[in-house]
Amino acid sequence: MPRASADARPVALTGMMAAGKSTVAAHLGRLLRRPVVSTDAEVERRAGKPIARIFAEEGEPAFRALEREVLAGLAGPAVVDLGGGAFCDAETQARLLETATVVFLDVSAAEAARRLGGGEGRPLAKRWEELLAARLPLYRRAHHTLRVDGLAAEAVARRIAELLAAAPSAGSSASEVEREAGGAGEDSP
């Protein structure tokens, strides 16, 4: 099992809905023996209401401000499960690129549709693809990119732990790790 790195920087997971950020974060936290922080859950806790209500009553700028507060308060080597739009906020992105190791969990539209369920989900799939088109150039600024199609959350967490062990502190260059859904089994690294 990979050991926790001496690097005390948080590891922030970014990506679209259905990329597996929350599940991977839980596994990665256990692997690295680090606490896991969900920015969405922490924003809801601080606001005392669900995200949908924050958006409806106060708007996205208020939500993003709360999200920035949560991230500013991070201390130590946590695994951070970012909401899908967090890394798209310029201030949040700049802070994370400087203070954390950011990993983009890249999931294809087909895999996301499979994970989200089919049938009635087609309008959601169309909106998902529109959001991805807007967010992808921003997600690509992450320190590492990991294609997650066909991989179990445990395998994704192990691969991230391996990336961190190989390059414990984030540098200025990003690494790209692609996995094809076609030959990757659940236990593939």
147 is in an annotated binding site: no
112 is in an annotated binding site: no
Of the candidates 104, 181, 108, 112, the one whose C-alpha atom is nearest the C-alpha of residue 145 is 104
22 is in an annotated binding site: yes
3-state SS assignment for residue 142:
coil
122 is in an annotated binding site: yes
Of the candidates 9, 62, 71, 63, the one whose C-alpha atom is nearest the C-alpha of residue 39 is 71
167 is in an annotated binding site: no
20 is in an annotated binding site: yes
64 is in an annotated binding site: yes
- Do residues 147 and 116 touch, judged by C-beta distance below 8 A? no
Of the candidates 153, 141, 109, 144, the one whose C-alpha atom is nearest the C-alpha of residue 127 is 109
23 is in an annotated binding site: yes
Distance in angstroms (rounded) separating the CA atoms of residues 181 and 71: 33
Helix, strand, coil shares of the chain, percent, nearest 5, are: 50, 10, 35
Q: Which residues are annotated as a binding site for ATP?
A: 18-23, 122
Q: Which residues are annotated as a binding site for substrate?
A: 40, 64, 84, 135
Q: Which residues are annotated as a binding site?
A: 18-23, 40, 64, 84, 122, 135
Q: Which residues are annotated as a binding site for Mg(2+)?
A: 22
